[in-house]
């Protein structure tokens, strides 16, 4: 059960892995609503709300690494599953946008 929850919420990806793929130019996707995104977001991230991510699969296929994140990690887990079901690889659940922001700004 614990392993399942880790994979669902992305903690098994590890902070160092996330940090490294972000340094390598990962595509950062915030899956919160536009109003949530407007209230604060990771610099350089794009807003693709969870309810429309299925429609954006083709535009994401060329990305080497994709980090999805949201407010709590639940919507990003759903986004990761949707993207993987549609054949995308190298999708990482970053969890919360604050965590991704902190890791992105660490030296």
Exposure string for 58-84, b = 16+ CB within 10 A, e = fewer: eebeebebbbbbbbebebbbbbbebbe
29 pairs with which residues across the strands?
Answer: 46, 68
Catalytic residue among 70, 77, 82, 91: 70
Annotated catalytic residue 24: no
Q: Which residues are catalytic?
A: 70
């Amino acid at each position: 059960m614990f392993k399942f929850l880790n994979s669902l919420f992305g903690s098994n990806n590890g902070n160092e892995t996330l940090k490294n793929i972000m340094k390598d130019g990962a595509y950062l996707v915030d899956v919160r609503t536009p109003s949530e995104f407007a209230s604060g977001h990771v610099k350089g991230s794009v807003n693709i709300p969870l309810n429309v991510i299925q429609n954006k699969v083709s535009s994401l296929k060329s990305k080497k690494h994709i980090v999805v994140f949201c407010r709590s990690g639940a919507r990003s887990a759903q986004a990761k599953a949707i993207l993987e079901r549609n054949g995308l690889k190298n999708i990482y659940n970053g969890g919360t946008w604050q965590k991704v922001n902190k890791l992105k700004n660490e030296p």
